[in-house]
């Protein structure tokens, strides 16, 4: 199985390296948010009891979470492309492990996410943002947001495998991503939102990721939040990958 995962990962990686322009285009929106959104809302940091000295410092962890959510939500397009070109059916008639097809693609996506995170952190550093916990905090951040993204990655691929169409993925992605952002503390501290929103945040996996990594940037390790986040997001990631694997088996029947 490990050999099959490696084969799938290398295949996806080579495809991405042949078209690096897509990595550039996928970074445009996050960079616009980083460069413009932080300046637009800078005065928010003047509010009493705001948890950060600048809105940039507060928003960077949320932006990293957004990278994971947006990238993974539309990750099903890769498999959809293989389906349209007839490549996926050819892979299924080989002895390659079905689960490996999902896991190899997931690892390739995680590598791409890590590169994007490092690019964003580099630019944010030049703008004045810092990570209070240093390199270890960055590594822990990558682990947490990867777990979050794996859940959405799995559900995205499952949807494509079931429907075999791009419209459901586009519609679902558009309807899901922005509400999940606003029902979390990505843009605003939970202390500044209405009570009913704080209640909704408890059922939002996106918020668990944000609440766990933001202290890594602002102050230090808050292990109760971190451990709770890792448990919740591990379950979420497992559910997503399991759903995609089951959908793949159904697709191949």
Confidence of residue 253 (pLDDT cuts 50, 70, 90): low
- List pLDDT tens digits, range 219-239: 889 999 999 999 999 999 999
**Which spans in the chain are helix H?**
2-18, 21-32, 38-40, 55-73, 76-85, 87-92, 98-127, 134-163, 167-182, 195-201, 205-218, 223-252
CA 239 to chain centre: 15
- List pLDDT tens digits, range 24-44: 667 777 888 888 888 888 888
The count of domains in the chain is 1
- Expressed as residue numbers, the domain containing 208 is 2-252
Q: Are 51 and 141 in contact (CB under 8 A)?
A: no
Please give the pLDDT value at position 235. Answer: 97
Q: What proportion of the chain, given as a percentage, has pLDDT over 90?
A: 40
Distance (Å, whole) CA 69 – CA 173: 10
- List pLDDT tens digits, range 3-20: 778 877 887 777 777 766
């Amino acid at each position: 199985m490990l050999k099959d995962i490696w084969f799938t990962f290398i295949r996806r990686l080579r495809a991405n390296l042949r078209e690096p322009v897509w990595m550039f285009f996928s970074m445009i929106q996050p960079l616009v948010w980083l460069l413009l959104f932080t300046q637009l809302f800078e005065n928010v940091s003047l509010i009493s009891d705001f948890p950060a000295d600048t809105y940039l410092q507060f928003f960077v962890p949320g932006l990293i979470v957004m990278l994971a959510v947006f990238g993974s939500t539309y990750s099903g397009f890769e498999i959809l492309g293989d389906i349209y070109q007839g490549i996926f059916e050819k892979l299924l008639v080989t002895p390659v492990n079905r689960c490996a097809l999902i896991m190899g693609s997931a690892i390739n996506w995680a590598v791409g996410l890590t590169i994007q995170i490092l690019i964003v952190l580099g630019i944010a550093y030049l703008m004045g943002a810092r990570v209070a916990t240093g390199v270890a905090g960055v590594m822990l951040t990558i682990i947490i947001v990867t777990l979050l993204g794996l859940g959405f990655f799995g559900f995205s691929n499952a949807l494509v495998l079931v429907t075999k169409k791009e419209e459901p993925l586009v519609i679902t992605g558009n309807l899901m991503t922005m509400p999940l952002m606003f029902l979390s503390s990505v843009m605003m501290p939970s202390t500044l939102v209405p009570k009913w929103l704080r209640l909704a945040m408890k059922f939002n996996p996106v918020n668990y990721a944000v609440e766990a990594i933001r202290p890594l940037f602002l102050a230090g390790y808050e292990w109760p939040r971190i451990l709770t986040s890792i448990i919740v997001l591990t379950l979420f990631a497992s559910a997503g990958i399991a759903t995609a694997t089951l959908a793949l088996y159904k697709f191949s029947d």
